[in-house]
Amino acid sequence: MFKKHACYLSICLLVAPLVATAVALPVEPLPVTTPAPVDLAPVQQALAQLPSVCPDLARQVDAAAQLRLQAFYQQQGNMPLWSADDRRQALQSQLLMLADDGLDPTHYSLPVPDATANVLCSDITSSQHYLQALQDLHYGRLQQSRFEPLWHAQPPTRDPNVEVLAFAAQGLQDMAQAFDQARPSADLYRSLRNAYSTVRQQPLPHWDPVASGPLLRPGMEDPRVPELARRLISGGYLANAPSGKQYRDELVKAVKAFQLSHSLQADGVIGAGTVAELNISPAVRREQLRINLERFRWLAQDLEPEGVLVNVAAAQLSVYQSGIPVWQTRLQVGRAERQTPLLKSRITRLTLNPTWTIPPTIMREDKLPAIRLNPEYLRQQNLQVLDAEGHPLTAEQVDWARPGNILLRQEAGPRNPLGKIVMRFPNPYSVYLHDTPSQPLFTKGPRAFSSGCVRVEQPLLLRDLLVSPAERARTDELLATGLTHEFRLATPVPVLLSYWTVEVNREGGLVYAPDIYGRDLVLMKAMGSVL
């Protein structure tokens, strides 16, 4: 999309690789400047001596932003840019629309025209807020690396400053088009933006919390039934409140619908998880839309037209083709104490009929205590003991109180926790996508059961979407042998593990996911939300 801006490559020489953020963080002071050469254009002289010429602005601008401003004005012939009222009005209009993106327009307020003000300082301030708005809209207001770090197998190569300056140059000709191009184009983002735009302009609904209590199953009687009905009516899941205190019929249907739209097990049974989701306030729900727009701005930088996208929070996997999700399946992801990491890599090989070499954490925290308690555990779990060089050991050769540098390996078979197939991709966490014999857990919700790896409900169907027909036939032959084989893909497939807690489904409804790793409130605070 940015090929047409190749003429701006020289800007790279002027702009630092760091990306300035607009969060309320300490701004590194600009270096003490020497007088600018007299042959510099006035705007460049002002930028070179910003602390003395525009002290108020200098307190808001770090060194990277200063370099970007210098490049922007040089790109435009070092002329003031905001003297025309129509251009300022066009910019102001686009800044106000950032509210629909979950960004606060007041962070980018333009200086009020004042005949006594320094004209150059006002112009530069307008440019700074313009560039910052485009950057925040395209890349996010917060730095993902500070809040939800995502590991890359191949570090990103695009220079954010070049892209922002390209948007900015276009905006001087067509402001609306520039902001629209800076805005992420992914449907995940656009659909959620439309939903947030509607919600934020409506009065917040009100609902009273549902009291905690014993497990409530369909057909049971409970004093909480009236308040449960009122809550579901307030949320639009139920039309009329039933009489009495019996939990049944339309109320059960409404609860199942609520559970389904909140990534819970839609069985109509009301336990602590369902009550917790029912009791999240309308203000927090609205803020969830806003912070997930921020997550989708991060996501847009790594999302590819072809590949596998995992939403860890919802425990759901989507396969994308030509930028469209064509297939989905349920997952099991890491528990809160053993979280599935966020990462971008490429699936390069399949392990067919895998053995399982138990990772150190699982061996230390799970397997060794079980072995010490039960001498038959190794035999029952079909576990083989190996030394550091991979040579077999008997259980009697190991001091299980101090086992030293040993390995535990489970042979391929129906009880192997990796199932029939593993999809592997380079990463420093030793995580992968894999089959599992724990199929009943896929009906649960939320599905945070693993030790960090991602269990796939329909791994062979996923395999079919990753390989060619010839590769599928060959892997079927190898699977049938029952022996362990490593199969390298002819074409590696991008895989992205991300995290978000609300999206818009194909029917246009909002679908929430429980915040299994407790990250939402951190982002709300960082974005400056007021609940």
3-state percent helix, strand, coil for the chain, nearest multiple of 5? 40, 15, 40
Helix, strand, or coil here: 408?
strand
Question: CA–CA separation, 386 vs 367, rounded Å?
Answer: 14
Question: CA–CA separation, 186 vs 235, rounded Å?
Answer: 28
| Residue 92, pLDDT score | 97
Read off the pLDDT of residues 303-352 as tens digits, 9 standing for 90 and up.
999 999 999 999 999 999 999 999 999 999 999 999 999 999 999 999 99
Read off the pLDDT of residues 76-124 as tens digits, 9 standing for 90 and up.
999 999 999 999 999 999 999 999 999 999 999 999 877 667 899 999 9
Question: CA–CA separation, 66 vs 124, rounded Å?
Answer: 10
| Residue 22, pLDDT score | 40
**pLDDT confidence of 21, banded at 50, 70, 90?**
very low
Q: Is 206 a catalytic residue?
A: no
Would you kindly state where each structural domain of the chain is located, as residue ranges?
Answer: 3-183, 304-354+415-500, 356-410
Which residue reads 């395209």 in tokens?
138
Which residue reads 């705007």 in tokens?
43
Question: CA–CA separation, 70 vs 78, rounded Å?
Answer: 9
- Of 520 and 5, which is predicted with more confidence? 520
Count the residues in the chain: 531
Give the range with max mean pLDDT: 154-163, 307-316, 407-416. 307-316
Fold of the CATH domain 304-354+415-500: L,D-transpeptidase catalytic domain-like (2.40.440)
Query: Which residue out of 12, 391, 453, 485 is catalytically annotated?
Result: 453
Q: Is 485 a catalytic residue?
A: no
Buried b (16+ CB within 10 A) or exposed e, 95-124: bebbbbbbbbbebbebbeeeeeebebbbbb
Phi, psi of 252 (to 5 degrees): -65, -45
Q: Is the pLDDT of residue 19 over 60?
A: no
**pLDDT confidence of 223, banded at 50, 70, 90?**
very high
* DSSP conformation letters of 425-441: ---TT---EE--S-GGG
Question: CA–CA separation, 438 vs 315, rounded Å?
Answer: 15
Helix extents (H) in 7-100: 42-48, 50-53, 55-58, 63-75, 85-97
| Cα→Cα distances 482→410, 437, 476, Å | 14, 16, 11
Query: Which residue out of 5, 138, 434, 485 is catalytically annotated?
Result: 434
Q: Is the pLDDT of residue 465 over 80?
A: yes
Four-residue CA torsion sign, 192, 198, 202, 205: negative
Burial class (CB in 10 A: 0-12, 13-18, 19+), 408: buried
Q: Are 33 and 47 in contact (CB under 8 A)?
A: no
Q: In 355-484, which ranges are E strands? A: 356-357, 383-386, 392-393, 407-410, 421-424, 433-434, 448-450, 454-456
The 10 Å Cβ neighbour count of residue 143 is 17
Question: What amino acid is encoded at 344 in this protein?
Answer: K
**pLDDT confidence of 234, banded at 50, 70, 90?**
very high
Angle between helices 175-182 and 160-171 (to 10 degrees): 150
